[in-house]
Structure formats: C-alpha cells, structure tokens
Amino acid sequence: MLDYEAEAAHYDETRGGVPRAAAAAGAVLRLLPPGTRTLLDLACGTGLVTERIVRPGLTVYGADAAHAMLRVASVRLPGRTVRADARRLPLPAGALDAVSAVWLLHLVPFTEEIVAEAARVLRPGGVLLTTVDKDASHDVGSDIDALLRPHRSHAEGRDGARRVTALAAAHGLDPAPGTRFTGHGQGATPRGTATRLRRGYYASWFHGTDTDAAALGAALAALPDQDRPRPEPGYRLARFVRRG
C-alpha cells in the first residue's frame, strides 16, 4: 500500500479533486435509505468525499488510519473525525445507520475483518456501501489496460465483487442493488501508471518478482502519448443491508 502519511500533501489534486469526490459522494447518497441519520465514512482520507455526503439531518463521521490524511479531514469535518483502524472501530455494536468505504478494500489484505467490523457497528437494516472491483474499473480497453490486465488478473480478489459479497453474507449483510460513479480525472497516462508502479502501488501484483515489474515499466515507457489520459473509469459502489 502507498504511504498515506506522505500522500496527504498532494492526495486531492492527484485523485480527481472535487469532480471525482462529488461523483463518489453522489453515489453514496443515492444508495442511502430514507431516514438514514448517521453515517461513518471509513478510510475517509482527506475528507474530500466525506464532506460532500453531509446533509441536513444526516450526521457524517470520518475515520482513517493515517494521521496526515486525517489532519486534512479534521478541518473539513470539525469534531467528526477519529483516527482508527477500520478493523477496530471505537463504537458499540449497532451504533450506525450506514457505513461507507470509498477506495479502501482494494488496498488491504484483511477485507474480511473490515467487512465484519462494519457489520458489527451497523444496526439491523443499516447499510454498508463499498467500492468493489476498483482496479478492474480502469479496464476500459486502452493500451495501458492491455499491459496491466495479465498482471491484474493474478491479483484479483481483495475487493472483487463476488468475494466481498460472500464475505458480507457470512457476516449478516445481504446484497442490494448498487450504483456506479465516474472517476473524473482518473483516466490513466502511461507516465503516471509507470510512476505508480515505481512507487509500489501495484506491489501486491508481483509478489517480489521484480523482473515482471521491470518489464511492465519498460512496456509502459514505450507506449505513445506518455501524458495523454486514457478514458475515465466507472467505479462500482456495492450496497449491503444488515440483517435484522
């Protein structure tokens, strides 16, 4: 995983800024049942998405593990942020109407612990909204995708929709229709993808086989139009309802 203590300084400007955040927040709001009064945004990061979920009558909290990300979020959500690992939330069982997790599950190897913890803090009828298939959402048929796809297929699983749905069911969460949002400003460039590769974003794909990573880096560097963004991805937001 990237070092989010270091990412905080330039996170917003490199992740699609307000247009991406507004699209993600809009997707969360579309899936909230009427009457939802409390929501915890897990892995809220800088709070750019979280602050856009806030509505009259809906109290929105943010939790994140990284100090530096949370420092930015605490300005956007004064008094409503907490530093916490998503596996161990400082909340009693059944405390919340909704939990959201935008761009978290693809990052971590402990998907089940997070899903179980979200289920624990939701009341019966409460909803978990989470992105699934995040990296596969970038598969929009570009020349970059053609290079990444063989490596990505080995790594699928962390936030794979089928896997997350099975884990959710095992922890008392039933699937319900989800939605999608556009990753504004997230169209990949060859140079940007190579930089992410060097910075370790795809480390879990290679399991220490540096020669494969080096070959991918060389292939990315050979693509034309190094700074031209390819098409924007459409991210999936899945919904699960806590059984009564």
**Site residues (CB under 6 A) for ligand SAM?**
4, 15, 24, 43-45, 48-49, 64-66, 69, 85-87, 102-104, 107-108
Residue whose CB is less far from ligand SAM, 18 or 65: 65
- For residue 100, give Cα distances in angstroms to 9, 61, 231: 23, 10, 26
CB 221 to ligand SAM: min, Å: 25
Task: Mention every residue, 6+ apart, whose C-beta is less than 8 A from residue 91.
Answer: 40, 121
Amino acid 151 reads: H
Q: Is the dihedral of CA 91, 96, 100, 105 positive or negative?
A: positive
Nearer to ligand SAM, 103 or 240 (CB): 103
Using the minimum distance from each CB to ligand SAM, give the nearer residue, 21 or 220: 21
In the complex, minimum distance from the CB of residue 182 to ligand SAM, in angstroms, rounded to a whole number: 14
Backbone region of residue 16 per phi and psi (left: phi > 0; alpha: psi in -120 to 50; beta: other values): left
CA–CA dist 223, 231 (Å, integer)? 15
Cβ 26 to ligand SAM shortest distance, Å: 13
The least distance separating ligand SAM from the CB of residue 15, rounded to whole angstroms, comes to 6
**Residue with smaller CB distance to ligand SAM, 54 or 219:** 54
